[in-house]
Every structure is written in structure tokens, then in C-alpha cells.
Amino acid sequence: MTTSLRISSCIVSLLLSSMVASTCATAQIVYDWHDSKEGWVPASESNLGCNLIEQPEAMAMRAFNTTPVMRSGTVNESLGIDAGTYDRVQITLRNPTTSGNPNARLFAYAPETNSFMCHWNVLVDTEMEEFQTYTLNLTSPPNSGSGTFEGTVGRFGWRGPWGVANGDTIYWKQMVVYNSVGCTDSEACNYAPYAEVDNGMCVVVGDSCDDGNDDTINDMMTADCLCAGEVDEVQDIQSSLSVGMAPNPASTQLWVTSSLPLGRFRVLDAQGKLCMTDHSQSASTAIDVSGLLPGTYFLETHLGRTPQLYRFIVHRL
């Protein structure tokens, strides 16, 4: 089975408010080398040579010399992440060799280059019979003289523990790049399983959110960790309302047609004085205006959420 790099999904990242989205931007990057290379390739330089071999439990790095290096993709591939996005790297490997100075080395590369921006040593055990996990703090200073960890990170790379001989094999099981600060509530939608310190920004089912749809109300996180709201039926009705009046100007009778039964209505003069109030159960209503003086009037309806005014004129020859 061959898989590609998996950046752990944060379902709410595009659906919620900016506060929640910020918790998703740093979801961990996981390279799981079970039966897969996860896109990693041997270094192309002859002095860094090795073979990478997919195996059921881990990826085998077979060294051609004492400094075998592998990288998380070819020079044309890029993670495109900022160096400040993550602060931890966790590596799980098995080193069966007897090297006297078993420092594995993590490299960081800028995009489109095989020249590292910096590197860190990670002291690992030797003669391992089981896999062991080590954690590197990316905010710690890189190796002296190797450079600085800043700017855009295109790829990561690993060198086998120092002193590996030609023909030795190192077994790489998993690498996780993550933030040590995040949501530590395992029931939360934005749970960060590798976070060591809670950031106080956990999002749980039932929390308010914004689904980005202006036609919904009461938006909240569902049991599927999706942000969803209820259809605003009043607004839905409001948007579909229509009222017509004819003839306009009118002399004795004004016909009002509406998309819904007209219900309670009032007639106001141009100064807002109440001239008439009535009620209709029909969507087509005749209003007697014969008793109104010529002039401008307003029909006030209550079909939607707020009263609506419609202008008409009474005119007689």
C-alpha cells in the first residue's frame, strides 16, 4: 500500500469563526511509514546514498555509506509551511547498529533546494530490539553553524545515526510534526492528540459557530463536528413575499394581491395618521378607498418579520 503525506484533518477549519479556524491551521503532519514510503526519497548526492524499502512495520533505510540521508519528497515538492507553524517533531525508529556516536540528524530545507537551512542532532539508542520514540523541540537552537530555522519550509530530511556503516539498515516507523499547544480534550472536534498544553480553544458539539450561510440561524457544531444552522423560516418567507396594488392611482377601490393571505393591514396618510384598519384572509383583497380624500397613502402589511409599507395614490377627476 502506498499513501501520501497526511495532514490531520480539522473539519471545522473553513466553517467556523476565525477563532476556531486558527485552531485548525496547525493540525499535525504525520508520516506513517507502515508499508509505505509516504513520498520520501533517498538523497540524490552520492555521499548521502541509501535505499528506502517499504516494509510492513516500518520503512527500511539501507545505507551506502556512513551518512545516509532521506528527504520528504523531491526538490520540486514543498510543504509550504512557515518555520514558526510547528514547535515539535516526534520520530519513532529502530537503530540496530552499534554506532559509538548515534546522533540521528533532522534537516529542514527551504523550497526548491537540497541545501539545508539548518539541522538538529537527535541522540538515539543503539542495538535496539524495539522501536523507540524521541521528541525534538524545534524552538531549540539548531546545531552550531548549521543555519537558522526561519522562513518557508519546503521539506524535512533525516540522516541515519552517525557511524552507520555501508550496508547497515535503520528502520523508520513514524514522524509527526506538531504543535505542543492545542486542544487536549479528546471529545472536542479540534482535538490535537499530540498537544502537551491546552490552549483553551477546544470546540465541542453544541458550541456556537458560523456556517457562513446568511439564511440560517442558531448555528452550532453537530455530532459530526460540522457547523450547521437552522433554516430561518421567517426570513425565508420574507424573501418570497410580494405585494401588488392596482389600479394605482385608485379612485374608489384598490385591489391588493399578495403571495400570502394579506392578514391584518392598515392604511396611513402621508403624515402617518391612521385612516383605516382591517383584516383579510385572502391573497386578493379589495380595499374601499372611496371615503379617503385625494392624496398619497400607505398600505401597511404584517406579512413578514417587520411591517412593510406600500405607497398608493387616491385620485379623482
Which of 312, 154, 167 has the alpha carbon at shortest distance from 247?
312
Residue 12: its pLDDT value, please? 36
Q: Are 158 and 100 in contact (CB under 8 A)?
A: no
As a whole number, mean pLDDT of residues 173-194 equals 94
For residue range 119-140, list pLDDT tens digits in order.
Answer: 999 999 999 999 999 999 999 9
For residue range 3-46, list pLDDT tens digits in order.
Answer: 334 444 343 333 333 334 343 445 789 999 999 999 999 998 98
**Does pLDDT of 236 surpass 80?**
no
Instruction: Identify the structural domains of the chain with CATH numbers, from first to last.
Output: 29-178 (2.60.120.260), 236-314 (2.60.40.1930)
Read off the pTM: 0.65
Cα-Cα-Cα-Cα torsion 48, 79, 94, 179, nearest 10 degrees, comes to 140
Mention every residue, 6+ apart, whose C-beta is less than 8 A from residue 144: none
Question: Minimum mean pLDDT among 109-113, 232-236, 302-306: which range?
Answer: 232-236
Residue 139: its pLDDT value, please? 97
| Mean pLDDT of the chain, nearest integer | 86
For residue range 64-121, list pLDDT tens digits in order.
Answer: 888 899 999 999 999 999 999 999 999 999 999 987 778 999 999 999 999 999 999 9
**Does pLDDT of 259 surpass 50?**
yes
Q: Compute the C-alpha angle 182/130/68, nearest 5°.
A: 85
Q: What are phi and psi of 201, to 5 degrees?
A: -125, 30
**Does pLDDT of 296 surpass 60?**
yes
As a whole number, mean pLDDT of residues 292-317 equals 86
